């Protein structure tokens, strides 16, 4: 196998090209962008959406979509903080409870999709609303403070040179690598691609497609639970208003990362690049002192450009 064959096909390099271009532009136009400390910061800023986007990628690979991800994450963070702060549960147990609830939501999504064959869009729109309402009702719409210090550990940082790396960022990267390994190197991971690529063929070959789908939704719920913990660690509180925009952010990261919304095609590391692209844009534009409305405008243009560069470079390569 030649070196050329070992490299990922160009289609998977797209998000990385966009990332590099953005970095160069911001590096030239601002003073503080190209510092290790700033990159460490950006990673911290994307870690919550980054972990949610792992779950979202899995679901999109099966040709589904999950609108509930952010709200489920918010519910999980309320559960774990309230259980710890109000009922005095030991943090580890409280965390487990929170993750259990998000996983349960994943299970419910998965059962509705596989058993009753409902479209994932509608199912997760429904559970989005349900998770939101439960979050509001259970928290009385109050932010949960008094979160025990030990639950915040993932938000702490350690020094590498002059930059501060959060433990949560390390966890995020580890999760990406694990998901990558799973999708690439195990049978069950390959079946996720197969189900998304041609569900009927996958079924005829004798793979239990429903079980694959269900496990993907459950696993996504698990990732949302870990994101709950990360958001608690990052903010220090349980925030009942969180999670409202994370679904669009996560889907954007997935699509920017080159995964097809029609399922079966994509690489999960692209999602990480996609999430970072969004973080870099926001950070760089703020550093440039662009005012907030113009930030929205420029983000709109840059998102389109990022994918266009990718597409055009691929065309050129043909």
Partner 1 sequence: AGEPVIGLITKTETNPFFVKMKEGAQAEAKKLGAKLMTASGKKDGDTAAQITAIENMVTAGAKTILITSSGDAIIPAVKKAQAKGVQVIALDSPFEGADALFATDNYKAGVLIGQYAKAALGNKPAKIAMLDLFPGHPVGAQRHNGFMTGFGLKANDAKSNELSSTPETVCAADTDGNQAKGQTAMENCLQKDPNINVVYTINEPAAAGAYNALKKAGKEKGVIIVSVDGGCAGVADVGKGVIAATSQQYPLKMAAMGVAAGVEYAKGGKKASGYVDTGVTLIAGKAVPGVDSKDVKTGTDLCWGTK
Partner 2 sequence: MSKLVMQAKGLVKRYGQVTALDGVDFELRAGEILAVIGDNGAGKSSLIKALSGATVPDGGEILLDGKRVQFRNPMDARREGIECCYQDLAVAPAMTIAENLFLGRELRRPGFAGTVLRQLDKKKMLETAIERMADLKVGIRSMTQAVETLSGGQRQCVAVARAAAFARHVVILDEPTAALGVKEGNMVLELIRRVRDKGLPVILISHNMPHVFEIADRIHVARLGKRAAVLNPKKISMSDTVAVMTGALDPAKLPAECLA
- The contact set with partner 1 (CB under 8 A) reads 30, 32-33, 35, 37-38, 41, 44-45, 48-49, 132-133, 135-136, 139-143, 145, 155, 157, 164, 231, 234-237, 239-242, 244-246, 279, 282-283, 286-287, 289, 291-293, 295-296
Minimum CB distance to partner 2 smaller for 5 or for 31 = 5
* Residues 64, 114: Cα–Cα separation, whole Å: 11
CA nearest to 247, candidates 152, 131, 133: 131
Query: From partner 1, a copy of itself, partner 2, none, which one binds at residue 289 (CB under 5 to 8 Å depending on kind)?
Result: partner 1
In eight-state DSSP terms, residue 33 is T
Q: Is 201 in the site for a copy of itself (CB under 8 A)?
A: no
Closest contact distance (angstroms) between CB of 184 and a copy of itself is 23
For the chain, count helices (H), then strands (E): 13, 2
* Residues 291, 149: Cα–Cα separation, whole Å: 36
Query: From partner 2, partner 1, a copy of itself, none, which one binds at residue 150 (CB under 5 to 8 Å depending on kind)?
Result: none
Query: From partner 2, a copy of itself, partner 1, none, which one binds at residue 202 (CB under 5 to 8 Å depending on kind)?
Result: partner 2
Q: Is 313 in the site for partner 2 (CB under 8 A)?
A: no
Query: From partner 2, partner 1, a copy of itself, none, which one binds at residue 185 (CB under 5 to 8 Å depending on kind)?
Result: partner 2
Classified as helix, coil or strand, 266 is: coil
Strand partners, 164: 159
Reduced DSSP (H G I as helix, E B as strand, rest coil) percent helix, strand, coil of the chain, to 5: 75, 5, 20
Classified as helix, coil or strand, 238 is: strand
Q: Is 250 in the site for a copy of itself (CB under 8 A)?
A: no
Could you tell me which residues come within 8 angstroms of residue 95 by beta carbon, excluding any fewer than 6 positions away? 80, 84, 151, 229
- State which of positions 163-192 bind partner 2 (CB under 8 A): 181, 185-188, 190-191
* Residues 59, 219: Cα–Cα separation, whole Å: 9
* Residues 192, 202: Cα–Cα separation, whole Å: 10
Query: From partner 2, a copy of itself, partner 1, none, which one binds at residue 117 (CB under 5 to 8 Å depending on kind)?
Result: a copy of itself
Query: From partner 1, a copy of itself, partner 2, none, which one binds at residue 241 (CB under 5 to 8 Å depending on kind)?
Result: partner 1
* Residues 38, 164: Cα–Cα separation, whole Å: 9
Q: Is 122 in the site for a copy of itself (CB under 8 A)?
A: yes
Greatest Cα-to-Cα distance within the chain, rounded to the nearest angstrom: 62
Instruction: By CB under 8 A, name the one of 161, 206, 289, 316 that touches partner 2.
Output: 206
Phi, psi for 13 (deg, rounded to 5): -90, -15
Q: Specify whether the CB–CB gap between 66 and 221 falls below 8 A.
A: no
Q: Is 53 in the site for a copy of itself (CB under 8 A)?
A: no
Q: Is 70 in the site for partner 2 (CB under 8 A)?
A: no
User: What residues make contact with a copy of itself under the rule CB under 8 A?
Assistant: 63, 65, 67, 112, 116-119, 121-123, 125-130, 132-134, 136-137, 248, 251-252, 255-256, 260-262, 293-294, 296-297, 299-301, 303-304, 307-308, 311-312
């Amino acid at each position: 196998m030649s070196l050329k064959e070992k490299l990922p096909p160009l289609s998977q390099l797209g998000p990385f090209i966009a990332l590099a271009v953005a970095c160069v532009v911001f590096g030239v136009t601002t003073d503080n962008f190209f510092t290790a400390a700033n990159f460490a910061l950006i990673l911290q800023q994307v870690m919550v959406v980054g972990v949610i986007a792992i779950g979202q990628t899995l679901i999109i690979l099966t040709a589904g979509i999950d609108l509930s991800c952010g709200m489920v994450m918010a519910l999980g963070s309320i559960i774990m903080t309230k259980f710890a702060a109000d009922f005095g549960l030991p943090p580890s147990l409280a965390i487990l409870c929170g993750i259990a609830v998000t996983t349960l939501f994943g299970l419910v999504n998965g059962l509705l999709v596989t058993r009753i064959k409902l479209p994932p869009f509608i199912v997760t729109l429904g559970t989005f609303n349900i998770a939101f309402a439960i979050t509001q009702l259970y928290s009385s719409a109050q932010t949960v403070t008094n979160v025990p210090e030990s639950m915040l550990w993932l938000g702490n940082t350690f020094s590498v040179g002059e930059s501060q790396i959060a433990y949560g960022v390390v966890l995020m990267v580890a999760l990406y690598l694990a998901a990558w390994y799973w999708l690439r190197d195990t049978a069950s991971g390959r079946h996720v691609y197969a189900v998304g690529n041609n569900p009927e063929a996958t079924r005829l070959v004798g793979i239990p497609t429903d079980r694959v789908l269900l496990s993907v939704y459950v696993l996504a719920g698990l990732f949302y639970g870990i994101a709950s913990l990360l958001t608690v660690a990052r903010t220090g509180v349980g925030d009942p208003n969180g999670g409202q925009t994370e679904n669009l952010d996560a889907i954007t990261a997935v699509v920017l990362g080159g995964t097809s919304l029609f399922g079966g095609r994509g690489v999960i590391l692209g999602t990480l690049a996609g999430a970072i692209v969004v973080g870099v844009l926001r950070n760089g534009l703020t550093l440039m002192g662009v005012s907030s409305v113009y930030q929205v405008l420029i983000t709109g243009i840059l998102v389109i450009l990022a994918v266009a560069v990718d597409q055009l470079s691929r065309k050129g390569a043909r």
